[in-house]
Amino acid sequence: MASKRRPYWRTFGTPTSLVLYRTADGWRYAVHFTGPAGIAHGTLAGPPPSSEPDIAQAALVQKAEEPTHRRPDVLWQAPDQPDWWTGTVTVAGPLPPA
């Protein structure tokens, strides 16, 4: 009998926006999801706080791909606060086969 359990990554919604900000200890992030709604947040392990924002942004896009198995295209807005960036997911990428 086949299992009716869905892969864990199918329980995450579609990523809609990303928030990235630099602290003295490192880069912090939040990924917002819809359908079902939720937020994943934490600290990026890779880039040091002194790294350029584009390096941290690329690391965050990769981090957003991990729980969803989808490669989002993100449009980053110009920062309106120092060391704070927001990105809108323009294309979430296709869902992989179950």
Distance separating alpha carbons of residues 15 and 1, to the nearest angstrom: 33
Q: Each residue of 18-35: pLDDT tens digit?
A: 999 999 999 999 999 887
Distance separating alpha carbons of residues 25 and 36, to the nearest angstrom: 31
pTM for the full predicted model: 0.82
Instruction: Report whether 63 contacts 73 (CB < 8 A).
Output: no
Return the H-helix or E-strand segment holding 68: helix 53-68
Structural tokens at position 26? 């490192």
User: Confidence class of residue 76 from pLDDT cuts 50, 70 and 90?
Assistant: very high
Categorise residue 69: left if φ over 0, alpha if ψ from -120 to 50, beta otherwise: left
Instruction: Report whether 97 contacts 19 (CB < 8 A).
Output: no
Structural tokens at position 35? 């359908």
Return the H-helix or E-strand segment holding 37: none
